[in-house]
Chain A
Amino acid sequence: MDREQLIHKWLNHELTPEEFEAFKSLDDYEELMKLSQNIQSYKAPSYDLNQELAIALNRKNGTSKKRSWMVPFMKFAAVLVICLGIFYVLTTQPTSTHTAIAERAELELPDDSHVTLNALSNLTYNKNNWNKERKVSLDGEAFFKVEKGSKFEVITNFGIVSVLGTQFNIKQREHFFEVTCYEGSVNVLYKQKNTVLKKGDTFLIIDGEILATEKENKKQPSWLDYLSSFKSMPFREVIAEMERQYDVSIKVKGMDLKTPFTGSFPNNNLEVALKTISKPLQLNVKQKGQTIILTRD
């Protein structure tokens, strides 16, 4: 038997006693035996099968017991969380009212306070919190008739208008902010400065500047009677208001848009409205569908 076969049999633990004698006479017998003997110290520690099985059975029963009530419980908990979440979202969502171009809305707040919303405006308030604080957010123009009670606040991008019980109008545009008080008194907080308005007073900001205005004698803003009125307003504000009241786009040529304009136009007759603003300024009117072009001779 040759060397290769002997080593193969030795490795496979199948040497007969006679073959082992032959194996002993190989040159590298000593080296192989030394290696093999030393390898013994790398033997894995003994594995107590019965003890390990007992542990495994114990653990598996523990986990299955736990799972049996955990799974339905978790399902129940998940449904509960989702229900609570939906309930929370539905009940605490603020109420929002939005008007489109040429549209207006009248709404009653939870305390019977009355709001009229002009075209292209947005009013948001929280029904659930109403008893704690009367607070609404406004973007656009609205007229308020506030019932007497605790402080009533209107939050706008320009400042906070707060009152106790009164009638007032807020007009908020991109470069423009106007609060007019028609009854009682109103406090306007603008840039950390409080201004108190009495009946007939107007608080006006154009391009960040506070401007003085005349006393207002009317009982309510003219837009409630479908009339947009302006007193020394830049002409661009007049154009912008007309675009909000009628669904049109207006272009002006050959004229400074900052020219002051005093007057008013009706909100329910485009033809008359165009005449009202073009005649005093000697403008020519051209209408192409939804586009109106005003030019100066």
Chain B
Amino acid sequence: MPKDLQDHICDDALFSKAFRTHADHLYKFLFYKFGSQLNPKDKVQEAFIKLWENCKKVPPSKAKSYLFTVANNLMLNEVAHQKIVLKHQQTQQRSHSNESPEFLMQEKEYQEKLENAINNLSEAQRVAFLMNRAEGKKFKEIAFILDISVKAVEKRIYGALEKLRKDIKEI
């Protein structure tokens, strides 16, 4: 691992660089783990302000784990009061308007089952699986973001896929 030239991050350029590198990943991580009710965007902002306040103690190489830990803790402080529910976006465009009522009903039923199934996944499975399917990220990228091995990512994604298929098949 290359040694840091800087032992702190108290500099606008370094701070901006850290933001560009980690903010989007952090936001996605929080969104898929905790849903949108707890304001993942705000938590990202708060985590970076905390980073700035403690910039003397955090070298750039530690910035990522610092940010993820802080943001995760911020979420956990609130999560005790609210149940996490991921909802699908209703704004999904409909390409066909000539579908039969039966088909529409089946679709609706499927989506309800899917929503339940996704919320029944473990947090780890949900984050990995949605990063893979909804964000289109490869195993390696997810492994890098979550700081875990590729094998662990595969295990989570396969586990999630199996669980979702099973839950949806059940009536």
Contacts and interface: CB of A to CB of B under 8 A. Distances in A.
Interface string B1-42: 000000000001001100110011001100110001000110
27 contacts: A11-B139, A11-B161, A12-B138, A12-B139, A35-B114, A35-B164, A38-B110, A41-B88, A41-B89, A42-B88, A42-B134, A43-B89, A43-B130, A44-B27, A44-B31, A44-B134, A47-B23, A47-B28, A47-B41, A49-B24, A52-B23, A52-B45, A53-B19, A56-B49, A59-B49, A63-B52, A67-B53
Interface string A41-65: 1111101010011011101100110
A42 B49 contact: no
A60 B130 CA distance: 32
Contacts of A193: none
Contacts of B83: none
Contact of B20 (A36, A39, A49, A63): A49
Contacts of A64: 52
Given A44-B32, A52-B23, 14 more contacts: A12-B138, A39-B130, A41-B92, A43-B89, A43-B135, A44-B28, A44-B36, A45-B89, A49-B20, A52-B45, A57-B15, A60-B48, A60-B49, A63-B53
Ranked nearest first, the 8 interchain pairs of A and B with the lowest CB-CB distance are A41-B88, A43-B134, A44-B31, A39-B133, A60-B52, A41-B92, A47-B27, A56-B48
A53 B138 contact: no
A131 interface: no
B168 interface: yes
B71 interface: no
B78 to A, nearest CB: 18
A63 B36 CA distance: 26
B148 to A, nearest CB: 16
A14 interface: yes
A40 B134 contact: yes
Contact of B16 (A40, A41, A57): A57
Contacts of A43: 89, 130, 134-135
B157 interface: yes
Interface of A: 8, 11-14, 31, 34-36, 38-45, 47, 49, 52-53, 55-57, 59-60, 63-64, 67
Secondary structure dominating the interface of A = helix
B124 interface: no
B114 A38 contact: yes
A28 to B, nearest CB: 8
A147 B148 CA distance: 89
B23 to A, nearest CB: 6
B23 A49 contact: yes
A85 to B, nearest CB: 30
Contacts of A39: 114, 129-130, 133-134
Nearest to B92: A41
Nearest to B26: A47
Given A38-B111, A39-B130, A57-B16, A13 B138 contact: yes
Nearest to A60: B52
B71 to A, nearest CB: 13
B136 A13 contact: yes
B63 interface: no
A83 B136 CA distance: 64
A194 to B, nearest CB: 64
A254 B24 CA distance: 97
Interface string B78-103: 00000000101100100000000000
Contacts of B41: 47, 52
Given A35-B165, A56-B19, A45 B133 contact: no
A8 B154 CA distance: 9
A53 B20 contact: yes
A12 B133 CA distance: 9
Contacts of A60: 15, 48-49, 52
B45 A42 contact: no
B120 interface: no
